[in-house]
Amino acid sequence: MLQKKNAVLVDGVVLNGPIMDSKAGEKFVEEACKIIMEEVIQKAEDVTEKVCEWRAPETLKMILDLEMRDTGESHQKLLQLCQDVIQYSVKTSHPRFFNQLYAGIDYYSLAARFITEALNPSVYTYEVSPVFLLVEEAVIKKMIEFIGWEEGDGIFNPGGSVSNMYAMNLARYKFCPEIKEKGLSGLPRLVLFTSEECHYSMKKAASFLGIGTENVYFIKTDERGKMIPEELEKQVQRARKEGSAPFLVCATAGTTVLGAFDPLDKIANICEKHGLWLHVDASWGGSALISKKHCKLLHGIHRADSVAWNPHKMLMAGIQCCALLVKDNSGLLKKCYSAQAAYLFQQDKFYDVNYDTGDKSIQCSRRPDAFKFWLMWKALGTTGLEERVNRALALARYLVEEIKKREGFQLLLEPEYANVCFWYIPPSLRKMEEGPEFWQKLHQL
Amino acid sequence: MLQKKNAVLVDGVVLNGPIMDSKAGEKFVEEACKIIMEEVIQKAEDVTEKVCEWRAPETLKMILDLEMRDTGESHQKLLQLCQDVIQYSVKTSHPRFFNQLYAGIDYYSLAARFITEALNPSVYTYEVSPVFLLVEEAVIKKMIEFIGWEEGDGIFNPGGSVSNMYAMNLARYKFCPEIKEKGLSGLPRLVLFTSEECHYSMKKAASFLGIGTENVYFIKTDERGKMIPEELEKQVQRARKEGSAPFLVCATAGTTVLGAFDPLDKIANICEKHGLWLHVDASWGGSALISKKHCKLLHGIHRADSVAWNPHKMLMAGIQCCALLVKDNSGLLKKCYSAQAAYLFQQDKFYDVNYDTGDKSIQCSRRPDAFKFWLMWKALGTTGLEERVNRALALARYLVEEIKKREGFQLLLEPEYANVCFWYIPPSLRKMEEGPEFWQKLHQL
């Protein structure tokens, strides 16, 4: 009654009335958390549960009430919806969820993600994200140590594909800074090199950046999926003869399908000789750097100019957690990406504006993805992360030995990482010769 | 003992030993949730709490124990760290947190974000994200209705800046599809037009896409910050005379500083006349479409070819929640962005592969950002979202009236949206004439 009496009415809105019932809102969040704990987190380890209650699109549309209406639904209905969403979604933390690149649950990174969702920050200047900027700086510094650089720079961003784009643009900026203002029109054809087994984001990046997919020269790989350095050398020379402008080699550390590692040291020699930027897409394989036993897979990575590394894959930091790391520490990232928006990045602040990262990014709002990795690292220690990597590779090794023992299974090649590629050959094909008919039937299967 | 006896030891790792204590992990998540409820969510509405316990970078580094070590920390220590992180972070849900573009807490979107963090999905194919792909489709369809298109397409992505890049690349692809393969080398200079008051992501996008910042022609705005259509016409003609290739106009619906809306209908006339793609950056202003009272601010938006709209701003869906919407429904988005990775996007699946969105995206892993908006919409209904918009604009109106009444405050201009720009004039300057000295002193303040 009191409120009605003193109501401030503007444009038909009572300004000093309650916006929403915050107690009811808090209760809703609590009940949703209870469902999450019971249905997702506690069942994460339960093999008797299904990975996913799979339904075809048309059926699932009928089950879920997707329509958004004029009036809102009751909390009871909404909580039921949350239950349904969980039931019909893939449980990526389930022991039987197998993805090429991630699986399982990490409790610490999950808690960290709950914190950042609740705080809902945006990471661009120190004044709005003091903790998360310092944490990002600390994590990047530590990742750089594992790469083996003495110093460097970096930025967390939404995905390995985006990291690769960042690197491609950075290499191009280093090659010819005027492109930032003038664009590519009128310039010779820029050419970059990567292996046949590289991630498809290389093509996406080349087309997005205006370089063109035809100017990605795919280098032949050996029988294990590794880039052949001699072929790279040939292609660089071919590009030069054509009058185009080679500027970048993208090596892969951990290819998507075979898990192959390109020979970085030999590739670095060629890059040095020809003055090319060396980017290593270690989105998948970078985590091996944490393991004393397996870091040799990336031998030579300290010679790279930039590295993409996704702790959300093998290290389980939660999607997305992806860093682009850069060896240059003279501000190249900022020079390349700055737009110097006066309303955000004033230079006369009362703290060192070098902490502001906004001008290193292609984004404006940016999520604090380094934080979940940091809390997990604090919780497990480097030793705990290392065990995670060693365990994944030991499991792959175990699977390989089992495949070799069992009839009807055929290993494609001895893996060097966690990717195990094999065929299942059904009884009807086991006696057949490996001719075209055999392969056609096997592919159909 | 039993486990030790049957231990499967590979490469020094006991494979069938427990990975971690899941009960302890669950307990940790529960305790972290308790801290989040008490320290973030319940204090969200408490004016007596601080927005941020601010510390200078050097001090904050000393307070937080940022170092990642070989050994992990105890749960007790980690929970204390979580407390500290919250204490020294900006509480964006605090009633006194004022940002240009967002503030406050929405309980439903928060619950939805907790669910997706726990499920940790990646959205690229129906088989790994059935629910989230259907939800995204439903949300995009609904947003398209509010824009006023009969059909369309779209994709959620990490930020308005990225949406603008998507649109710029899409317009370029439409203008000249060969650029995807051939790149920009050898082509005439591509030119795009946007207003002086546009978001700085336009420059970032132009440099990232290889177009070059000098090929962004900034169109003069009137005293309210709106693009002047006659100036646009002049600049398009100038570009044509120069022999360059105009392909795109980026209008802004809700500029960052003044909150100005470009006159879309007049701009659309010019685009039609010259065959230019019309993109509307409605990252900030798009939410007004939900309000019957205020949607006229975007009059003419149905004539746009693409629209960027961020429900994480005024609608409070949580950072990030950003859609790029496209009028074309003939698969342009897929044609422009596809890389057709064989290992992910097989065409012979047992469901309609048109549900797979991976080939519409520059990302590979992608977060289910549409889901939090969907759950919030279900909870509040369209009416509830509309009230949110009307309330924000009524509050801005109230502030304007208060500024006019008070000595020492000077309104910059009558706002049309939620941005209220004003000067505070200290007593020492109130009698001074508005000459260069006055403005210099005011700027210093």
Cβ contact, residue pair A57, B134, below 8 Å? yes
Concatenating the DSSP letter of every residue in A273-301 gives HHT-EEEEE-TTGGGGGG-TTTGGGGTTG
**CB-closest option in A45, A71, A210 to B210:** A210
pLDDT average per 10 residues of sequence, chain B (445 residues):
64 76 93 96 86 93 95 97 96 82 90 97 92 97 98 97 98 98 96 97 97 98 97 98 97 96 98 98 98 98 98 95 97 92 73 89 95 98 96 94 94 94 92 89 83
Whole-structure pTM value: 0.96
Asked if the C-beta of A394 comes within 8 angstroms of chain B's C-beta atoms, the answer is yes
Phi-psi region at B139: left, alpha or beta (left = phi > 0; alpha = psi -120 to 50): alpha
**CB-closest option in A60, A69, A186 to B381:** A69
Q: Which two tokens stand for residue A198?
A: 């590289």
Q: Which two tokens stand for residue A281?
A: 């897409």
Query: Is A121 within 8 Å of A132 (Cβ atoms)?
Result: yes
CB within 8 Å of chain B, chain A residues 64-83: 64, 66-73, 78, 81-82
The CA distance from A430 to the nearest CA of chain B, in Å, is: 25
Find which of A77, A107, A405 to mutate to test the B interface (most B CBs within 10 Å of its CB): A107
Q: Say if strands B306-309 and B322-326 run parallel, antiparallel, or are unpaired.
A: antiparallel
Show residues of chain A in contact with B257, CB under 8 Å.
343
Nearest to A226 by CA among A203, A253, A192: A253
**What is the model's pLDDT at position A18?**
60
pLDDT-based confidence at A95, cuts 50/70/90? Answer: confident
Cβ contact, residue pair A362, B208, below 8 Å? yes
Cβ contact, residue pair A108, B45, below 8 Å? no
pLDDT-based confidence at A344, cuts 50/70/90? Answer: low
Give the whole-angstrom CA distance, residue A171 versus residue B32: 42
Q: What is the pLDDT of residues A204-263, one digit of tens each?
A: 999 999 999 999 999 999 999 999 999 999 999 999 999 999 999 999 999 999 999 999
Asked if the C-beta of B59 comes within 8 angstroms of chain A's C-beta atoms, the answer is no
Asked if the C-beta of A149 comes within 8 angstroms of chain B's C-beta atoms, the answer is no
Find which of A70, A172, A207, A244 to mutate to test the B interface (most B CBs within 10 Å of its CB): A207
Query: How confident is the prediction for chain B on average, in pLDDT?
Result: 93
**What is the model's pLDDT at position A1?**
35
Nearest to B286 by CA among B389, B171, B168: B389
Give the whole-angstrom CA distance, residue B322 versus residue B361: 13
ipTM: 0.95
List beta partners, residue B253.
B261
Show residues of chain A in contact with B209, CB under 8 Å.
208-210
The CA distance from B138 to the nearest CA of chain A, in Å, is: 7
Cβ contact, residue pair A210, B207, below 8 Å? no
Percent of chain B whose predicted confidence (pLDDT) is above 90 = 80
Give the whole-angstrom CA distance, residue B45 versus residue B206: 41
Cβ contact, residue pair A383, B45, below 8 Å? no
Cβ contact, residue pair A365, B180, below 8 Å? no
**What is the model's pLDDT at position A21?**
83
Show residues of chain B in contact with A196, CB under 8 Å.
none
Which residues lie below 8 Å from residue A65, measured CB to CB, with a gap of 6+?
A81
Cβ contact, residue pair B12, A183, below 8 Å? no
